[in-house]
Amino acid sequence: MDRDFTEKYLDYLRFQRKFSEHTLLAYSKDLSQFHQFLEEEFDCTRMEAVQRQFIRSWVVQLAESGMLPRTVNRKLSSVKSFFRYLVKHGHVDKDPAQGIRNLKVPGRLPKSITQNEANRAMDALDMSGDYDDVLGAAVFSSLYHTGMRRAELIDLKEADVDLVKGQLRVMGKRRKERIIPVGDELKGHLEAYSTIKSEHSLSDDRYFLTKRGNPLYPKKVYTIVNDILTVFSRADQKSPHVLRHSFATHLLERGAGMHVIRELLGHKDLSATQIYAHNDIAHLKEVLKLHPKS
């Protein structure tokens, strides 16, 4: 067995790549498991004799054992990195791991706050305070009422906000433009913000500005949302993206169609929106617990 190659590889990771001992231990275990599989299943002890189907068979065995796709992919990554090292240093002529695809990892369900938490947060927004209070309220309200991304909110132009028509023009990914209606509550928040911005003589191409007249930046938006959700939500995550997920989830819970939500979120494909259906099923299961025979 070409185990000397493994030791040389681990030394390379330790001394040249400066990997941590924890990471080195994971690589060592992965490669030891891989070597054992090759020897037991294919009587293969030389790395130059390893074929692509050997590695694929190993991946299949790991998956069929019940191992999570993310764990399988991590182990496969160890083997791929190992063979790249062997090729680079002339120990083998060809890389049998090249082109082997990772297992598909199921998408994580997006996190959201509850409708009750959203209502309490919205009711507490201070529209009569100082500039930062009104700015924070308008930012939070815009994210929750429209589902726009943080970057889209930051890039929103003065000309994109039409409170007479009650709509926002949002430029999404791949420069795809979409129009989002503005409801009465959000309209009131934006009117209050526009008024106080005018009172402070702040003017710029961008709509949302700091008190100093500079465009908003990602950290500022995160802080605004996090500060509010810390008070009104028990959710683990309290980022602006949580409000985007909450927007979609709450619309679905109230009966909105998937295609409508897709248009509002600016998703290219419906498949990107369908993940919210899983959240809706979870919501329905909770509702069914109220049934007297459940």
Active site residue 217: no
267 classed as catalytic: yes
108 CB-near residues (< 8 Å, 6+ apart): none
Angle at 47 between CA 42 and CA 48, to 5 degrees: 105
Q: Annotated catalytic residue: which of 35, 75, 145, 149?
A: 149
Structure tokens at 199: 């009172």
Q: Return the beta strands (E) in the chain as ranges.
A: 161-162, 167-171, 177-181
Give the phi and the psi of residue 255 in degrees, each rounded to 5: 100, 5
From CA 293, how far away is CA 278, in angstroms rounded? Answer: 24
Catalytic site residue 85?
no
Candidate list 244, 245, 250, 262, residue with the active-site label: 244
Check if 276 is active-site. Answer: yes
To the query of whether residue 149 is one of the catalytic residues in this protein, the response is: yes
Concerning whether 244 is annotated as a catalytic residue, the answer is: yes
Please tell me which residue in 8, 187, 241, 283 is annotated as part of the active site: 241
> Which one, of 217, 218, 228, 222, lies nearest residue 189 by Cα?
228
Given the residues 94, 173, 234, 268, the one annotated as active site: 173
Distance from the Cα of residue 189 to its chain's centroid:
28
Q: CA angle at residue 143 from 142 to 145, to 5 degrees? A: 65
* Cα three-residue angle 194-197-198, rounded to 5 degrees: 85
Write the CA distances from 180 to 160, 171, 177, 235, integer angstroms: 10, 11, 10, 27
Catalytic residues: 149, 173, 241, 244, 267, 276
